[in-house]
Amino acid sequence: MGKRSVAAPSAGVAGLALVAALTFVSTASPAGAATCPASTTCPTTVTFTVNAPDGLTINVPDGPVNIGSGAPGGQISGALGPVTVSDQRAALTATWVATVSAAAGGFTTGGGTPAETVPNTAVLYWSGTGTYTGGTAANFSPGQATAADAQSLNVSRTAFSKTSGSGDNSATWDPTIVVNVPAQAVAGTYTGTVNHSVA
């Protein structure tokens, strides 16, 4: 039997096929595109992101801070310097509590013997009313608004708080440290730490 031959498509046919393919590609709709009838609303969803890069931080004065001097059995009182909480979380519920306490070992001089120690129970703190941004006065609450509200620092105390509201905010207060100097305290420069934190 003789071999049958199959004719290759002519250049004209191949060209028409290529044109048809290109025409199909050029008229296809982009992925996700919407097609709407005339006189109707045709929506496109738009998104964007609001970043909150800095989070929740607290800034305290550099030490040492000298709050003054006084005699045994007397009282020493002085400003610690501004303390600032900055809340850059852009949170829907932007609440926080700043706390304060004194070192467990109290304040010491010389060799830190019992006679050379003022216990942290004798060290008091009051925050004052402070200043704030990113909310109303109702959103913020000082821990100790006046001298009459002063609290000892032998345990953790609330220094300042934000109790409601949303979005970025900050609060600054200048707390006062009050030391009830024991009658048996020896002369010297006493050193200790006042510790703040925020959460």
By CB neighbour count within 10 A (0-12 exposed, 13-18 middle, 19+ buried), where does 47 fall?
A: exposed
The answer to whether residue 35 sits within a structural domain is no
Q: What is the pLDDT of residues 43-86, one digit of tens each?
A: 999 998 888 788 999 999 999 999 999 999 999 999 999 999 99
Judge whether 41 lies within some domain: no
Whether 9 is covered by a domain: the verdict is no
Is the residue at 68 inside a domain? yes
- Over residues 124-169, the pLDDT tens digits come to 999 999 999 998 889 999 999 999 999 999 999 999 999 999 999 9
The answer as to whether 20 is a domain residue is no
**Would you say residue 27 lies in a domain?**
no
| φ, ψ (nearest 5 deg) of residue 160 | -160, 155
- Residue 8: inside a domain: no
Is the residue at 117 inside a domain?
yes
Q: What is the pLDDT of residues 175-189, one digit of tens each?
A: 999 999 999 999 999
Residue (of 87, 68, 67) closest to 160 by Cα position = 87
Q: Could you tell me the pLDDT band of residue 32, with boundaries at 50, 70 and 90?
A: low
| pLDDT for residue 18 | 42
Does residue 171 register a pLDDT over 70? yes
Domain with residue 153: its CATH number is 2.60.40
The C-alpha atoms of residue 127 and residue 148 are separated, in whole angstroms, by 11
pTM value surpassing 0.85: no
| Number of independent structural domains in the chain | 1
Order across the sheet with 151-152: list the strands. 75-79, 176-180, 123-126, 151-152
